[in-house]
Amino acid sequence: MALYAIGDLHLHYQSVLKAPGQLKDRVWKNHEEKFKKNCEKLLSPEDTLVLMGDHSWGKNLAECEKDLEYICDLPGRKILTRGNHDMFWDAKKTAQLNELYRQRLVFLQDSYETYRDYALVGTKGYTFEGPFLVDRRGRVVDWDEAEEAHAKKLVNRELSRLRTSFELAKADGYRKFIMFLHYPPTNILEERSGFTDMAEEYGAEQVIYAHCHGESRFHDSIQGEFRGRLYRLASGDFLKWQPLQILE
């Protein structure tokens, strides 16, 4: 029995592919088949796979049905969290998705799941990336305050959703946590953020995130040990479509 994670499948069986990188880059060629084969080799029915957002390019549920069927057909228990491109998934209507895919997929939002004695908590997150402009030497040359205020609102909403997830698990007696985000826990300038602070506050052992894809983005945030926690990037192209083992 093992716990695995990966993000950013960006499936498009019924929708138009919108990322130019996904059309040109070799790592994306037939990535659906590569990933499926890797899962079938690696995972058994007792295993758990957390899929950390950007599941599909579909604009609504009707355009995502085949993509979600593809995920249903992967081996093991599948837990999904939201990504910024998941237009089919309104956070407030998560209960309806869970009802629709009952026994097949778990949509995690304002809730938690368990693996052995661990609580699996998570949310989409938000990386406060836009308000500043950086020059070629990495120096901040401009800052947009209106944008900053808007970004802070989004960050706070995601932090409160994450806290709900932690608190529900804690109330049920869980003391060991693995935290999943779609966005990286910090922007390229930050060393700490509300997300890293929350991971420390609750003692999450590992923080797994995705969203950074394309080689130039792989090192946008923390990887490895940081202030007592292990941070790991698990975007699909970074992992070359091999699910990342989180726990045995």
Cβ proximity to Fe ion: between 116 and 219 the closer is 219
Cβ proximity to Fe ion: between 88 and 118 the closer is 88
Residue 149 CB, nearest approach to Fe ion (Å): 22
Residue 26 CB, nearest approach to Fe ion (Å): 18
Residue 212 CB, nearest approach to Fe ion (Å): 8
Q: Are 195 and 201 in contact (CB under 8 A)?
A: no
8 near Fe ion, judged by CB under 5 A:
yes
**Residues 18, 41: Cα–Cα separation, whole Å:** 30
Distances from the Cα of 131 to the Cα of 83, 143, 148, 149, 190, angstroms: 21, 5, 5, 9, 13
**Residues 25, 237: Cα–Cα separation, whole Å:** 10
Cβ proximity to Fe ion: between 8 and 67 the closer is 8
- Could you say which residues in the range 29-48 bind Fe ion, by CB under 5 A? none
Residue 213 CB, nearest approach to Fe ion (Å): 6
Q: Tell me how far the alpha carbon of residue 133 is from its chain's centroid.
A: 26
**Residues 155, 164: Cα–Cα separation, whole Å:** 14
Q: Tell me how far the alpha carbon of residue 152 is from its chain's centroid.
A: 20
Q: Which of 12, 163, 211, 229 touches Fe ion (CB under 5 A)? A: 211
- Could you say which residues in the range 72-101 bind Fe ion, by CB under 5 A? 83-84
Which residues are at the interface with Fe ion (CB under 5 A)?
Answer: 8, 54, 83-84, 211
